[in-house]
Amino acid sequence: MMTRRATMNPRTWIFCVLVCVLTCDRSTNAYRETRRRRVAEDDWEAAPKKCSYTFLVPEQKITGPICASQGPSLPDKERVSQMDIADVRELLTKQRREIDTLRLVVDVDGNMVNEMKLLRKESRNMNSRVTQLYMQLLHEIIRKRDNSLEIAILEGRILNATAEALRLSAHYRQLEARFSALAALVNNQSVLIGALEGRCMQVYGNHRQEPLPPALVEVVPENIPVYVPRFTNEIQRAHSWAFPGDRSSRTAPTESTLEPQRPSQGNFTLEGPFRDCLQAMLAGHATSGIYLLKPDGSEMPVQAWCEHDVDRGGWTVIQRRKDGSVNFFRNWDSYKKGFGNVEGEHWLGLESIYNLGRQEDYKLLLELEDWMNKKVYAAYSSFHLEPESQSYRLRLGTYQGNAGDSLASHNGKQFTTLDHDRDAFSGNCAHFHKGGWWYNACGQSNLNGVWYSGGVYRSKFQDGIFWADYGENKRRYFEECC
């Protein structure tokens, strides 16, 4: 026969050990009780009979230690001795050590079971994390593949755009060459026309030598950034002309205060200052010329041209263009303070115009003359500017005249210069029109633009002097207000 070995799990084994310990404990207690009763009976039989009374004492359970007899040992095999008690104690001590060992083993096994549970839980978490990372890696690989496709498509588009840009650049160079040829042709024609005009004046004009017209203006190229404050549209002259100030630096727009040349004694008065030219006329000065004005609220007096030969007189000239001798492509500070020659081309200054306009209810009169000597005018019933905090916003009344209302779209707009953009256009209208004005986006007038001799433009932009409702070819004009 083959013997089969029984296997027990740790919990069954621990239970059996506890049952054995409990059985041994109970057997020891029963044995101790029996030995105590026998010793009591033997003592009672051996004791001398001294009384005839018998007392019945209820039997009590012994809970304390069992005391051995101190007398001589009796020849009773069942009598408990000191050695028996020592053996029992040694057995109990051994059993206690075994129980402690079993408890320690149980604790260790319990801790190992808990650790195994924690390890299984961590293993499940790690498996979930690994799965999640795998899905993320797969998604990243798919996304990078899609990005590679998009990059390839964008590279194709960039190559196509580059080819198109190269084609447009070649076409632009061809147009530049054609434009240069046309400009050279126009310049030659301008020189020829000037020579013919000179000969005509010599033959039919009592041999009177007229001054030559101003030279052409070099316009700022389009590709110069707007924010770089280095421009020039200075007049290039091959002859000797008088200029207000040094113009050789060619760093326009230039800053300048109102520093007119010393006028002659016939059109300048030392009296004043006056509030405006109307007050000067009422004071008895009815001759047109330079007067010293100090409007209410202004800190310093300014020199201004008073025109008394137009519409009953009393007009204060705030701007004049006549020969292109002054560069009007300037910055905000120059337009605020004023610049130019009061006897010729000049701008009175936004601050002075504002101080004049807030004294009383003024009118605005614009006189324009084209290259065919035809004169027109535009008048407005009221005129004033708002303060600098509002960028000198323009306020006009109703229009009257024969030049057309080309300031209607500029009414209520703020003043714009190259370094002070307040127009409604996405870019800077002062950059495209080469001047300072109450631009809209950009508007129907540009009276501070480039002075083109004969009205012939040399730029792809409409950057010259123009009044859209009448025509673009103007020779001179000036603004007056009273």
**Which amino acid, 309?**
D
Res 10 pLDDT > 60: no
Weakest-pLDDT range from 55-69, 115-129, 298-312, 318-332: 55-69
Q: Which residue has the higher pLDDT, 305 or 110?
A: 305
pLDDT in tens, 207-234: 444 443 333 333 333 333 333 332 222 2
Any residues with CB less than 8 A from the CB of 448 and at least 6 apart, and which? 319, 321, 328, 347, 435, 436, 437, 465
Would you say how long the chain is, in residues?
482
pLDDT in tens, 77-95: 566 678 888 888 899 999 9
Token readout for 115 is 């650790």
Distance CA 345, CA 474 (A): 15
> Pairing between strand 394-396 and 302-307?
unpaired
- For the chain, the average pLDDT equals 75
How does DSSP classify residue 345?
S
Alpha helices in 64-222 (DSSP H): 82-204
pLDDT in tens, 16-49: 555 555 555 555 565 666 666 665 555 555 555 5
Virtual torsion, Cα 30, 35, 41, 44, nearest 10 deg: -130
Measured over the CA atoms of residue 151, residue 152, residue 153 and residue 158, the dihedral's sign is positive
Paired strand residues for 383: 362, 396
Token readout for 365 is 């009169």
Q: What angle do CA 343, 462, 455 make, to 5 degrees?
A: 55
How does DSSP classify residue 453?
G
How many angstroms separate the Cα of 46 from the Cα of each of 36, 49, 54, 73, 326?
A: 16, 9, 16, 14, 157
Q: How confident is the model at residue 8 (pLDDT cuts 50, 70, 90)?
A: low
pLDDT in tens, 261-306: 333 344 556 677 899 999 999 999 999 999 999 998 888 999 999 9
Other beta carbons within 10 angstroms of residue 377's beta carbon come to 17
3-state secondary structure (DSSP) of residue 16 = helix
pLDDT in tens, 341-400: 999 999 999 999 999 999 999 999 999 998 888 999 999 999 999 999 999 999 999 999
Any residues with CB less than 8 A from the CB of 259 and at least 6 apart, and which? 244, 245
CB 434 within 8 A of CB 449: yes
pLDDT in tens, 410-458: 999 999 999 999 999 888 999 888 999 999 988 889 999 999 888 777 6
Angle between helices 82-204 and 10-46 (to 10 degrees): 150
**Which amino acid, 167?**
R
Alpha helices in 205-318 (DSSP H): 277-282
Q: Which residue has the higher pLDDT, 201 or 193?
A: 193
Q: Is this model's pTM higher than 0.75 or not?
A: no
3-state secondary structure (DSSP) of residue 376 = strand
Measured over the CA atoms of residue 116, residue 122, residue 123 and residue 124, the dihedral's sign is positive
